[in-house]
Amino acid sequence: MDRVEQLLKGQQGNYIFPFLWLHGEDEEILREYMEAIQNANIQAVCVESRPHPDFLGDGWWKDMDIILDEARRRRMKVWIRRLGLYASPDEAVF
């Protein structure tokens, strides 16, 4: 019965983290996305940045700051999808 009580209290572990596709959304939208994800009892996201119009530019970093700020505030985890085999502007390497 302990497990059921933990689940009902929202004390379960986090087992999924959806892709958060970035397209250059406004700050308000990014914050709403993070809220909606957490409201679905998900405590982590994986940022997918390839469609962002300013990938690795100032706009992308600004959006990442917003996401990380919201994640800190909500005590969520953020994963950044590794580019690996995918083409990226200017062959960027982290």
Task: Name the band, by pLDDT with cuts 50, 70 and 90, for residue 93.
Answer: very low
Q: Per-domain residue ranges for the chain? A: 20-82
Mean pLDDT of the chain: 84
With a pLDDT cut of 90, the percent of the chain lying above it is 53
Better pLDDT: 88 or 76: 76
Helices (H) and strands (E) in the chain, counts: 3, 3
Query: Can you list the positions of beta strands (E) in the chain?
Result: 19-21, 44-48, 77-80
CA distance 73 to 84: 30
With a pLDDT cut of 70, the percent of the chain lying above it is 81
Q: Which residue has the tokens 């997918």?
A: 48
CA distance 9 to 81: 31
> pLDDT digits over 37-64, tens only?
999 989 999 999 888 999 889 999 999 9
CA distance 23 to 84: 20
